[in-house]
Structure 1
């Protein structure tokens, strides 16, 4: 155990002091294999990744380096599984009710740093997608897959971070699937959009007590209008939630929101084939007047 701890510490020092070293992705992959070791080693490995990727960044170049390393590690880990990054984030955001007040305070501060780091990484991942797309080879294809996997794993931690990038991400649902990697990309884009749409839907239910509230709801409906038709694999719960929220909007909102709500509901119904809802909404809306 002591030997492994020394090795982990050496690897950690290399990662933190030489982040651009070409062997960093390989070192990270090896460290990840030790994450299920006994508690002392596991704790050391987690601390290493927190400092390496999920601590406050010093510069934009620092963020780019983190993203590049994450992508490279994911490419290397494709032969194993894609879940390690998601599990890593869960570890850093996990809270324990049994902790002392001081420990809870420390965890809250750590959580803020982790979420801020995730936001920076998500933004840079989207930039990376656009850069990687310009190259057309197998290496770039593998990196593109890894980038969307990272976007999924990190975006789930706080879907609001993905919202500004929905219009960019949704375009990748339309790619022509001619390879295994293309199918993986579309799969993860659909997953990303599903948890993002779940977050957006919540904004449809805000109580419109001001002009700004109406504007927010109007644009949420517009975002969903172009997003939903592409989500052919959306879960039934998402569709049901959308139908309910949009129907309510049609019945209680003013003219500012109604047009966007109708367009969005039409997109949802084309997906769900719930034609009965059209009749029900028409009857209920007609009865209002």
Structure 2
């Protein structure tokens, strides 16, 4: 344990004193693997990342360097999972009722610093999106995915910091999905909007209408992850717009497809059914709709389903 603690301290000193060192992303990735280690090491790792990324930001170059490192670490950690940054932020913002008054005061001050750093990092991440987009290659594609994942993880902690950037973010809901990365981007845009939309109480009707159209359109062509995120986001939009008729229309559309497929199978039971992909998509969409919308509520009483 003492050896590992010493190594963590060496890594921390390198990260803090040489922030532009090209091995920093690799060092951060290695430190992250120790976050579930023995308590004293875990505490040291958390302190390192708080100092490295979530301490008060000195200047614009400082925030750019932090954002670049976060993106690079996310790209490096993609093969593992996307949740570590979200979990890291939770660690810094959680409170403990068992703490002493002095400790609670210290935690409150820490939260202020963390939330201010998050705001600055979110602003820079949005700037990064526009810069990365101009370079159309695989490296920039991976960085774009990492940027939206970072926006989601940090924005979830404080959605108000994402709100000023909604007009930029929402544009990526309509990108043409020609690769795996494109689908991940759309998925995370929907996830970001899901927690941002409830704050958009003064948004114009045209913006809400456009969002509804984009999200329902995604159901036609997307895979499971995007479909799930789109419907989850749609539920947030509908709570704002009260447009339950749209939900009814979508439900009826996909239920009708299921009924039509059933009829074709029953009519020609000995023939190979060629619409299995469409049937599977429709059943999945109906299932997720039922998860996010209570179709047994009074507002859905006039939902007419043909059997």
TM class by smaller structure: 0.5 to 0.7
Whole-angstrom CA distance in 2 between matches of 1:263 and 1:152: 15
Query: 1:89 Cα shift?
Result: 0.1
Whole-angstrom CA distance in 2 between matches of 1:282 and 1:105: 51
What TM-score does the superposition give when structure 2 sets the normalisation length?
Answer: 0.58
Query: 1:210 Cα shift?
Result: 49
Query: 1:31 Cα shift?
Result: 0.2
Report the CA distance shift for 1:231/1:83 in structure 2 as closer, same or farther (over 3 A): farther
Whole-angstrom CA distance in 2 between matches of 1:202 and 1:235: 16
Query: 1:64 Cα shift?
Result: 0.2
Deviations 1:20-66 (A, max 9, x none): 00000000000000000000000000000000000001111000000
Q: Which moved more, 1:154-163 or 1:261-270?
A: 261-270
Q: Which moved more, 1:201-210 or 1:103-112?
A: 201-210
- Contact residue 160 and residue 199 of structure 1 kept, 8 A: no
- Please give the residue correspondences for 1:29-40 in structure 2 after superposition, counting only pairs within 5 Å: 29-40=29-40
Report the CA distance shift for 1:110/1:82 in structure 2 as closer, same or farther (over 3 A): same
Ranges in structure 1 where 5+ consecutive residues have no aligned partner: 166-196
Report the CA distance shift for 1:9/1:280 in structure 2 as closer, same or farther (over 3 A): closer
- Contact residue 12 and residue 48 of structure 2 kept, 8 A: yes
Whole-angstrom CA distance in 1 between matches of 2:197 and 2:41: 45
Deviations 1:103-144 (A, max 9, x none): 000000000000000000000000000000000000000000
What TM-score does the superposition give when structure 1 sets the normalisation length?
Answer: 0.61
Report the CA distance shift for 1:89/1:198 in structure 2 as closer, same or farther (over 3 A): farther
Whole-angstrom CA distance in 1 between matches of 2:185 and 2:34: 46
The count of aligned residue pairs is: 257
- Contact residue 250 and residue 258 of structure 1 kept, 8 A: yes
Report the CA distance shift for 1:238/1:31 in structure 2 as closer, same or farther (over 3 A): farther
Whole-angstrom CA distance in 1 between matches of 2:250 and 2:162: 32
- Contact residue 222 and residue 264 of structure 1 kept, 8 A: yes
Report the CA distance shift for 1:136/1:267 in structure 2 as closer, same or farther (over 3 A): same
Matched residue, 1:230: 199
Query: 1:251 Cα shift?
Result: 35
Q: Which moved more, 1:14-23 or 1:208-217?
A: 208-217
- Contact residue 24 and residue 69 of structure 1 kept, 8 A: yes
Report the CA distance shift for 1:4/1:127 in structure 2 as closer, same or farther (over 3 A): same
SS in 2 for 1:201: helix
- Please give the residue correspondences for 1:118-267 in structure 2 after superposition, counting only pairs within 5 Å: 118-165=118-165
Report the CA distance shift for 1:37/1:274 in structure 2 as closer, same or farther (over 3 A): same
Ranges in structure 2 where 5+ consecutive residues have no aligned partner: 256-305
Whole-angstrom CA distance in 2 between matches of 1:271 and 1:285: 24
- Contact residue 148 and residue 188 of structure 2 kept, 8 A: no
- Contact residue 250 and residue 285 of structure 1 kept, 8 A: no
Matched residue, 1:100: 100
- Contact residue 159 and residue 199 of structure 1 kept, 8 A: no
Report the CA distance shift for 1:131/1:271 in structure 2 as closer, same or farther (over 3 A): same
SS in 1 for 2:157: coil
Whole-angstrom CA distance in 1 between matches of 2:37 and 2:68: 27
Report the CA distance shift for 1:153/1:276 in structure 2 as closer, same or farther (over 3 A): closer
Matched residue, 2:76: 76
Query: 1:207 Cα shift?
Result: 41
- Contact residue 75 and residue 142 of structure 1 kept, 8 A: yes
Whole-angstrom CA distance in 2 between matches of 1:237 and 1:132: 29
RMSD across aligned positions (CA):
12.8
Query: 1:278 Cα shift?
Result: 12
SS in 2 for 1:156: helix
SS in 2 for 1:200: helix
- Contact residue 197 and residue 236 of structure 2 kept, 8 A: yes
